[in-house]
Amino acid sequence: MWGLAGPAQAKPAGKRLSSLLRAGDWTIPVDVEGQKTADTNRSGVRHASAGKVALIWGLSCLIRVWCRTLRFEISKDDLVVATHDAPSVVLLWHNRLFIVPWALRHLRFRRPVCGLVSASRDGAALAAFFRFLGIRAVRGSSSRLGREALHELIAICRAGNDVAITPDGPRGPIYSMRAGAVLAARRLDAPMILLGFEFSSPWRLRSWDRFCLPRPFTHVRVRAELFRPSDVARRNEGVEHIRRRLLEINGESVSECSTPSSDPRTPRDAVVRDAP
């Protein structure tokens, strides 16, 4: 078992708060082979207000400091899987998003980050939060602008990047899994990396996903499992199997989390890591 401390040398990501507030736009265009696309040109995309962005900036700073107090534990085998050096589809539950800054910095650290986030008002706050963590945003979902955003996402991934998806985001139901992640992996012929974070006695928020807040100075057990597209013979059975494995490596009881996998729709939240 290897112990890993939090990101002691974490550097501020993105532009300064003052420049962001002056700009009035907190999403970043995606550069794919020289072609930039800005989601501000799409109708229907919601953006966070200046006041909310300032609040989110403070929250992102707090989370960075908070993560430094945690003691992360990961086995050598899990570390090899989690740092698999190939463009991959990375899966984690929505209620583990608190750990995203640490996970991206220590596990999937070879590329900058870009994210597919819902075009809704809820997604605007998440896009602003990702921006302060250095994650670039592509706005879209299964209900808003999804096809256009998904095409951008595929282009980015084919350029040699990772795609990390919260299969039950952004509004649940908790621990449900849409087939989008499996379909994306098949289409891209990319491996899927399941990331699990088991907390010792975390606080749970009264949100739809029972969002997990690890207590400061506690341990976090990190697990990882790799699936290849060829490992998923049939889509429906494969999606349910991956959902169960993702529950188990997060320390969640499969019998108590009986939410069935959802129908095959595009995943609403994702994070993409850009190639250097």
- What's the rounded mean pLDDT across residues 264-276? 46
**Which phi and psi angles does 177 have, rounded to 5°?**
-135, 120
13: pLDDT strictly greater than 70:
no
Query: Which pLDDT does position 234 carry in this prediction?
Result: 64
Q: Which amino acid is at 17?
A: L
Portion of the chain with pLDDT greater than 90, in percent: 28
Burial per residue of 68-95, b for 16 or more beta-carbon CB atoms within 10 angstroms, e otherwise: eebebbbeeebeebbebeebbbbbbbbb
Number of domains in the chain: 1
Specify the higher pLDDT residue, 127 or 226. Answer: 226
What pLDDT sits at residue 3? 63
| pLDDT for the residue 79 | 95
Above 80 in pLDDT, residue 10? no
Token look-up 């229907």 returns 44
Distance of alpha carbon 135 from alpha carbon 113, whole angstroms: 5
* pTM score of the predicted model: 0.77
β-bridge mates for residue 271, sequence order = 115, 164
- Label residue 235 by pLDDT band (50, 70, 90): low
pLDDT tens digits, 157-206: 788 788 777 888 777 899 998 777 777 777 777 889 999 999 998 999 99
Round the average pLDDT of the chain to a whole number and report it. 74
Range of the domain at 255: 2-273
Q: Which of 155, 144, 53 is nearest to 114 (CA)?
A: 155
Contact of 200 with 219, CB cutoff 8 Å:
yes
CA 111, CA 61: separation in Å to the nearest integer?
A: 22
- Residue 30 reports pLDDT greater than 60: no
pLDDT, position 46: 62
Q: What tens digit of pLDDT does each residue of 77-109 get? A: 999 999 998 888 889 999 998 998 888 888 988
Query: Which pLDDT score, from 0 to 100, does residue 68 have?
Result: 92
What average pLDDT does range 38-60 have in this prediction? 67
Angle CA(89)–CA(40)–CA(134) in degrees, nearest 5?
Answer: 45
